[in-house]
Amino acid sequence: MCADTNRSFFEKALEVQTCLQSLIAVVCVFTISVNAAPGQSTVWGLRSGDRFSVKTTIDRETDIQLADSAPVTSTSKDQLELEYLVWQATPVETRMQVRVVSFVRIGSSGDAFTDSMFDQRLKLLERVPIMISVGPNGVVTNLTGYRESLKQFAGPDEKMLQLLQEAWPQQSFESWIGRPFWMTQPGDDHEDRETWERIDQLSLGLMGGLRTVATCRIDSQGDGPAKVVVSGSVRQVAPSPPDSAASPRSVSFGDVEATAESFSGEGLMLLPEQANDDDSVPVKLRPWFTNLVLNWSITGGAKVKSGGRTQKVTFRHQQKQSSQLQPNFQMGRPPAFRSLPKPAR
């Protein structure tokens, strides 16, 4: 009887955390000061009307053990494509709209009703204009539409909205949407143009997150895109305390400890001299970003509270994110719009 109770308790905790990871995989993927490099007045030399898409595949494997129960392994694989459309480009910032073009759940939850509801809510996200501003150095300086996206996904479910806000803070939201812009070489006045840094935050759902100072370094270059290697120092970000005015959660995590056993990455990018042709023919222009692969290996533990009971849980999580520029980019064409999109009602 005790074993059955423990298993039921564990399955409930695992179900909530797995659900949040699936939501995060979509919501977060909306969904990124130094002078510009020679010949570049905006990030990547982008102009109003330029459009490009990035497809990201997310592979996750998590081993979770509750108290003395046998470990349970959960795996998932999702594929998302985001479209970036430039609304306004100035030497100070490049203003873009980001939207979901497609989402494929290569791994499903096993619950047909849950998967159907998830897919329906995902389609609603296309109605929300996510707007970002990116500096010439490839850093996101402003983002709007964060809360509106979560509200659109949660629908009338206030508890779901509360969970999303706690599990996916805006810092993690911005990190996801801005990762393609890591492939941006700093300007001339930088002491070392071969190396630059980015601040990133990976969400661990209700267990907080990991903040990384990622160092990007040009490893090799030739006639084609340059190879960039990524390393970094990682520290834990504590989970946000529950809102005292909100309804209590059925499952909560405390005393969380999370450590990145390893973090690494590798990408390809065009250098400024490769991205700008001498004859300046617009159709030859393209985004600097080619691809980026990031890998995390994380271990940790926490106390899980549910139904008035508290038990210890330990976990090991491995995650790989592979992002690739799609060949359907359009650059150097006149803009086909006149005003910014209106927020969804």
* Residue 40 to residue 42: CA distance in whole angstroms: 6
The pLDDT mean for the chain works out to 77
Task: Dump pLDDT digits (tens) for 68-123.
Answer: 888 899 898 888 889 999 999 988 899 999 987 877 777 654 444 445 555 666 66
196 beta partners: 216
pLDDT for 29 beyond 80: no
The pLDDT assigned to 183 comes to 94
Burial letters 222-255, b for 16+ CB under 10 A, else e: eeebbbbebebebebbebeeeeeeeeebebbbee
Domain definitions of the chain by residue range: 2-325
- Tell me the two tokens of residue 51: 């459009």
pLDDT tier, 23 (very low <50, low <70, confident <90, very high otherwise): very low
Closest-CA residue to 44 (of 293, 333, 331, 322)? 331
- Tell me the two tokens of residue 145: 């539409």
204: Cβ–Cβ under 8 A, 6 or more apart, which residues? 210, 256, 258, 298, 317
* Residue 68 to residue 254: CA distance in whole angstroms: 18
More confident residue, 288 or 26: 288
Closest-CA residue to 20 (of 103, 104, 68, 76)? 76
The pLDDT assigned to 31 comes to 33
Amino acid in position 236: Q
The pLDDT assigned to 321 comes to 95
Inter-residue contact 113 to 81 (CB < 8 Å): no
268 beta partners: 227, 291
Task: Dump pLDDT digits (tens) for 45-82.
Answer: 899 999 999 999 999 999 999 888 888 998 988 888 89
The pLDDT assigned to 191 comes to 58
